[in-house]
Amino acid sequence: MAETTGMVKTAGATAAADAVEAVGTVTADTYGEAGLAAFGVRWARAELRCDTRELDALLTDDFQAVGPRGFLLDKPRWLERYDCGALVHDAFDWRDVQVRRYGDGAVALGVQTQQSVYEGRDMDGRFQVTQYLTSATADGCWRLAGLHLSPIGDTPADRLGP
């Protein structure tokens, strides 16, 4: 599996992500294993840009996230943080990604590092992230169904969100 390193990826993931951005979908068969790496790149780009239109397309309708303090966010609440301007990223990095595929599902483990502000508070931090992906969708495209963030030791408790 090609490593995805923030906005700079290995050649396979970069080519796949750029091609996918041009056509707009990543199916389970798109570019083989590089398709999953491309999905991660698209997701990180959308998070960095606070692009709710792209994130809406990348998340399943029943998406659930577990924040670093155990709070839950469904898809509408995940997107709302960007829509209302509460969350802004100056930097967003997704690296050290390992993906395991299970038929029409996959688990991606990686490290998310961010320089962010949430409701005027510094939210810089590093997180171990587990993503749960599925291609069991009507169009066969990869979607993010769930995400779990866990702070890595040096992230202060006051920067872990609500």
pLDDT per residue as tens digits for the range 12-34? 444 444 544 544 555 555 545 67
* pLDDT at site 94: 95
* pLDDT at site 22: 44
Distance of CA 152 to the CA centre of its chain: 17
Token readout for 54 is 């792209």
Per DSSP, the three-state class of 4 is: strand
Closest to 118 measured CA to CA, from 81, 155, 78: 81
Q: Are 159 and 138 in contact (CB under 8 A)?
A: no
* pLDDT at site 137: 86
Token readout for 69 is 């303090």
Compute the half-sphere exposure of residue 33: CA atoms within 13 Å on the CB side of its CA. Answer: 13
Q: Which residue has the tokens 């998406």?
A: 63
CATH topology of domain 4-154: Nuclear Transport Factor 2; Chain: A, (3.10.450)
* pLDDT at site 10: 34
59-66 vs 8-9, strand pairing mode: unpaired
What residue ranges of the chain have pLDDT lower than 70?
1-33, 155-162
* pLDDT at site 143: 95
- Residue 70 contacts by C-beta under 8 Å, 6 or more apart in sequence? none
Other Cβ atoms less than 10 A from the Cβ of 15: the count is 15
Integer Cα distance of 84 and 54 in angstroms: 16
